[in-house]
Amino acid sequence: METQILARDIHIYLRKKPPLDPEAYVYVEVALVWPDLERIALMDVRMTVAKQNPARFYAFFTGNCTGLLRIVKPQDVLCLYLSGATVHEAEQCKQNTLNLPFTLTYDKTCRLKYVEKGMAGHSVTFPTRM
């Protein structure tokens, strides 16, 4: 069963023991993509819908996951699964100009599912399995 997590609670959820539910995800909209920096700025869609300032954070895709940066576009709405993510809290991301005090890094594996537009329901996993 999939578990939706609020973006502002990701850092708490990723520190939980026992290990994560592999189906836990955060529902986000892609704000910006910087392929050369291996970085995507994400917004928590549930907070955006509430007409408040969205909760924003960065996700970095390195190593096996850089291919994701070629397919994700600004304004894509997706479920970003948390398994495979490492959280880096405030001390390690003081340069973060977004409003959540952490970043996520995916380097070995990442998975997402498109929610809206032409690719709705399509799941993507990196690295792709041959």
Write down the pLDDT at residue 94.
Answer: 52
The pLDDT tens digits of the residues spanning 107-120 come to 899 999 998 777 78
Q: Is 118 in contact with 71 (CB distance < 8 Å)?
A: no
From the candidate CATH numbers 3.90.1150.10, 1.10.150.120, 2.40.50.140, 3.40.50.620, the one assigned to the domain spanning 3-126: 2.40.50.140
State which residues of the chain have pLDDT below 70.
1, 11, 15-20, 44-54, 90-99, 128-130
Distance between the two ends of the chain, CA-based, in angstroms? Answer: 26
Q: Provide DSSP, 4-41.
A: E--GGGHHHHHT-SSPPPTTEEEEEEEEEEEGGGTEEE
Write down the pLDDT at residue 85.
Answer: 87
Domain segments of the chain as ranges:
3-126
- What is the rounded distance in angstroms from the CA atom of residue 110 to the CA atom of residue 64? 9
Write down the pLDDT at residue 130.
Answer: 36
